[in-house]
Amino acid sequence: MFSWNSRRHWDLWPYELPLPLHHFPGQPELPHEPPLERQQRPLVHFLQPNEPPPPADNDDIYHVFNFMNRCYLLAGIFIIITVFQWLMFALLMKEQGIFVLPGFICLILAFTALMLLTFCMQLRSNFWFGCIFAWLFVETVAMSVVLLLPVRSDQNISVALVAALIVLTVCYFQGAWLPMFILPGVIVLVVVLIVFAAAAGVMLILFIITDHSIYRFVYFCLILFVTLPLSLFHAQVIHGRRYKLPKEAFLSCAVIIYMHFTLFFMAFYYLIWVHQW
């Protein structure tokens, strides 16, 4: 009665019954994964909304921020030293009188130093030589400007300085934050430089020949309007919106900022006080 009968077992559970079950699809066999690797497997990206950006992005942001701070700090030092020298010369030298020959010599030296900083890559790669030529450019520009001013007074210099600093700050702020589609590009910049070179050369020749103040007024108006897109474009470069520059290029960028400041100062000086001459 209680004995085991294999025939009875096969009668109650026939062998043919499990066979059709093999035709139903089953779950796919998962690859074997060690428990340690399963625990260390990272979560899905959308399950981590507060995760920090990748290290490469952090490095790029730090590089741009550090580069920008170096440029503005060094350009600010250049501007402060130049303003101090201009005010000291205004107090020590007589107010009226243009020193053409010394100013012209300083202007040629400044242009030479700028060309060396721009085109001599081996010279610019050496930090100390770059610093020497950058300071040479700053000092010669400061000397040439103050020697060529027709009237050296605190009032004339201060008003032109305030106007130049305001316009310089606004231009670099706009270049850093405004959308790219409303800012000048490379093609626009090249066209502006070509038109400026042609028009400025004609105005300068006419002023030398005729000695009419209207040509000098137009000449400095051209300098003012061409410096605006140049400063906007350079602000985009400094803030990393155009190109990614190496960290050693902050010296050249600071020199360009100082050059834009000097051009703004000269333009506003001659446009504001032109009625006195």
pLDDT higher than threshold 50 for residue 44: no
Rounded CA separation 199/222 (Å): 8
| Contact between 152 and 93 (Cβ < 8 Å) | yes
- Which percentage of the chain shows pLDDT scores above 70? 74
pLDDT higher than threshold 70 for residue 29: no
pLDDT higher than threshold 50 for residue 65: yes
pLDDT higher than threshold 70 for residue 126: yes
pTM for the whole structure? 0.74
Radius of gyration (C-alpha) of the chain in whole angstroms: 36
What CA–CA distances, in Å, run from 54 to 51, 60, 144, 158? 9, 10, 50, 48
Let me know how many helices (H) and strands (E) the chain has, helices first. 10, 0
Torsion over CA of 56, 57, 63 and 66, rounded to 10 degrees? -140
pLDDT digits (tens, 9 = 90+) for 208-252: 888 788 888 899 999 999 999 999 988 988 888 777 777 778 888
- pLDDT attached to residue 1: 46
| Contact between 261 and 234 (Cβ < 8 Å) | no
Rounded CA separation 232/174 (Å): 7
**Type of residue found at 246:** P
Query: Among residues 72, 75, 69, 68, which one has the least CA distance to residue 259?
Result: 75
- pLDDT attached to residue 13: 46
**Type of residue found at 111:** F
Give, for 155, the enclosing helix (H) or strand (E): helix 154-177
Q: Is pLDDT larger for residue 185 or for residue 138?
A: 138
- pLDDT attached to residue 32: 55
What confidence tier does 72 reach under pLDDT thresholds 50, 70, 90? very high
- pLDDT attached to residue 76: 93
Q: What is the mean predicted confidence (pLDDT) over 68-80?
A: 92
| Contact between 109 and 160 (Cβ < 8 Å) | no
- pLDDT attached to residue 163: 93
Q: Where are the domains of the chain?
A: 73-276
What confidence tier does 52 reach under pLDDT thresholds 50, 70, 90? low
| Contact between 73 and 249 (Cβ < 8 Å) | no
**Type of residue found at 199:** A
Lowest mean pLDDT among 58-67, 107-116, 130-139: 58-67
Helix, strand and coil content of the chain, in percent to the nearest 5, comes to 75, 0, 25
- pLDDT attached to residue 169: 93
Q: What is the mean predicted confidence (pLDDT) over 21-26?
A: 48
